[in-house]
Amino acid sequence: MLIVGELINSSRKAIKEAIDAEDAEAIKKIARDQAECGADYIDVNAGTYVGKEDQYMKWLVSTVQSAVEIPCCIDSPDPKVVEAAMELHKGTPMLNSISLEKERWDALLPVVAGSDIKVIALCMSDSGMPESKDDRLSIASDLINSLVKNNLPVENIYVDPLVQPISTNDSYGMEFMNAVEAIMTEFPGVHTICGLSNISYGLPERKLLNQAFMVMAICKGLDSAIINPLDKRMMANVYAAETLAGRDEFCGNYLTAYREEKLVL
């Protein structure tokens, strides 16, 4: 399971305060904490700084990479910000994200075409947010085929079928699950990813729903997620679900997590 640590986002109060104060040590600590808890990428977002996003994105990327060896996930729809971050990024980053929305697609395709960057392909188009499995699969098919035609390796594509709140439509959970299964079946080599916390929006005990949703999604084939790796119960559920789904040879990762006291009940 590939984990993208979600915590370094300027929309979070603590992160904005650290950026405003240029408190590099605070940012480094959050990056190190996420890496130590199992993150494979550190998501970096400075989107609240309109007009100065590129400046703060470059500072965040440099700061994070001075603290950890894992790469960043560049979280911005602005191609200039993405290009600026990629120029100074050490190693291969991930882009969060491209979609079929024409303005976003036209702006970001030249950045990723022919590159070795990992790309989150969001199931959104100018027609709006997809609701059904078939809607998601149709958009995913167009995204994958178009990216491959533009010389992006299929294994570098991480399709995000888009999680929507179950509180607004009781079909959204299973439509997402079935979309994950269909994408993973029909496009060998492609990955699926999501920021899953939207599923519980507006409901009590959100962590419980998020954890259950993660387990269900893993069993449908989800192999990546944008989450808080400091949530020990969530991470324990990831280890357990991967083992039960047959994706942990001889239960090796589960046993390692047990020895390292990561299986929080």
- Go through the chain and tell me how many residues it has: 265
* For residues 171-199, average pLDDT: 97
In tens, the pLDDT along 153-176 reads: 999 999 999 999 999 999 999 999
* For residues 234-252, average pLDDT: 97
In tens, the pLDDT along 80-117 reads: 999 999 999 999 999 999 999 999 999 999 999 999 99
Structure tokens at 11: 């929309």
Phi-psi region of 114 (alpha: psi -120 to 50; beta: other; left: phi over 0): left
State the pLDDT at residue 119.
98
Residue type at position 263: L
Longest dimension (CA), the chain: 51
> Where residue 61 falls among pLDDT bands split at 50, 70, 90?
very high
CA 74, distance to chain mean position in Å, is 10
**d(Cα 115, Cα 219) in Å, to the nearest integer?**
31
Say if residue 127 is preceded by a cis peptide, omega within 30 of 0: no
Q: What share of the chain is helix, strand, coil (3-state, %, to 5)?
A: 50, 15, 35
pTM recorded for the entire structure = 0.96
* For residues 122-150, average pLDDT: 96
Q: How many CA atoms lie within 13 A of 52 on its CB side?
A: 8
| Helix (H/G/I), strand (E/B), else coil: 162 | coil
State the pLDDT at residue 265.
85
Q: Is the pLDDT of residue 258 over 90?
A: yes
**d(Cα 158, Cα 121) in Å, to the nearest integer?**
6
State the pLDDT at residue 67.
98
Place of tokens 């370094």: 8
Residue type at position 20: D
Q: How many CA atoms lie within 13 A of 65 on its CB side?
A: 19
